[in-house]
Amino acid sequence: MNQHVRDQINLLGSRRIPFLFVLDYEMRHPVVLSLDQVDTDEILYSINDISNNTVTEVPQKKLEFNYTPVSYDRYQKAFDHVQKHILHGNSFLLNLTFPSRVETNFSLKEIFYLSKARYKLWFKDQFVVFSPEIFIRTNGRKISSFPMKGTIDAKLPDARNRLLTNRKEVAEHYTIVDLIRNDLSMVAKKVRVARFQYIDRIKTNQKELLQMSSEVTGELPENYHEHLGDILFTMLPAGSITGAPKTKTLEVIQEAEQYDRGYFTGIFGMFDGKNLDSGVMIRFIEKTKDGLMYKSGGGITSQSNCAEEYEELKNKIYVPIT
């Protein structure tokens, strides 16, 4: 399956055919469609304001949104397992996530219509994504990735400085930037950190958050359009939602989380015939037999505190509708 999808993306890229791709975390159910094949009754996307959404008027109503997070006991058990592996040197940074039950008066499609985010996807009424995080973008031969690590409540006193000087958050950010730099070096030359630790402000239905990111860039070969599938698959799964070192960390994630991430923390994006733009599928609500589930989490390092990380998981359960 993976090689077939990889070859399909390479072919579409070499022919400069615009396409949409939705790649789940474990690459079990990847979807690749030329843009003229995308059925708006099944898939709606908005990628940096490029969208197939033709609906101009949506009923306006006040968002009702409640959640029941994963139990602290379950989270602590997984956290302790991760810390054991970090202590033994099997991982330096690991993204630990869990599903939490949510209740809302909005449908998944209404959340797609009314949420504000760089990357939005409504997929067959199975899930909706409203992600702030870029995976990779190309602009000519330039390729850029924007790892996002470090979050704080914007209303806390001196929040920006507290985020930028927090030892745990800074260490986590350095680690993920180094990982992304290594990943980019496998597909590009002249890789460098173009911007380091810049801050975005994200408005949610509950509060405002400050989010720390960096920009890592490199130079692709002239014929890179013929190898878009190779580029994507070489860098997957995304470093920001796995950790470092990636291979061993993936094993520890599976042991600790013990649930199926599905499309959550996969990637989706579009090739417009010239350039590729893609986002990481975080900020994610999924329809399940047990109701709506919101999957969220954060990076764990040796300096992490279990209670603080649990709070971060809860802070990320939001909808960017104000």
pLDDT at 322 over 80: no
Looking at the domain assignment, is residue 322 inside a domain?
A: no
pLDDT of residue 203: 79
pLDDT of residue 280: 96
pLDDT of residue 200: 86
Q: Which domain holds residue 192?
A: 2-315
Band of residue 1 on the pLDDT scale cut at 50, 70, 90: low
Residue with tokens 């219509």: 113
Q: Number of structural domains, the chain?
A: 1
Looking at the domain assignment, is residue 45 inside a domain?
A: yes
Looking at the domain assignment, is residue 320 inside a domain?
A: no
CA of 279: how far to CAs of 79, 100, 223, in Å?
Answer: 27, 22, 23
Nearest one of 306, 303, 285, 315 to 72, comparing CA atoms:
306
Looking at the domain assignment, is residue 146 inside a domain?
A: yes
Looking at the domain assignment, is residue 155 inside a domain?
A: yes
Q: Are the beta carbons of 215 and 194 closer than 8 angstroms?
A: yes
Looking at the domain assignment, is residue 276 inside a domain?
A: yes
Mean pLDDT of the chain: 93
Give residue-wise pLDDT tens across range 163-194: 888 888 888 888 889 999 999 999 999 999 99
pLDDT at 150 over 90: no
CATH of the domain at 276: 3.60.120.10
Give residue-wise pLDDT tens across range 12-56: 999 999 999 999 999 999 999 999 999 999 999 999 989 999 887
Band of residue 128 on the pLDDT scale cut at 50, 70, 90: very high
Band of residue 211 on the pLDDT scale cut at 50, 70, 90: confident
pTM of the full predicted structure? 0.92
Segment 115-131 mean pLDDT: 96
Give residue-wise pLDDT tens across range 76-108: 999 999 999 999 999 999 999 999 999 999 999
Looking at the domain assignment, is residue 172 inside a domain?
A: yes
Looking at the domain assignment, is residue 272 inside a domain?
A: yes
Give residue-wise pLDDT tens across range 229-282: 999 999 999 998 999 899 999 999 999 999 999 999 999 999 999 999 999 999
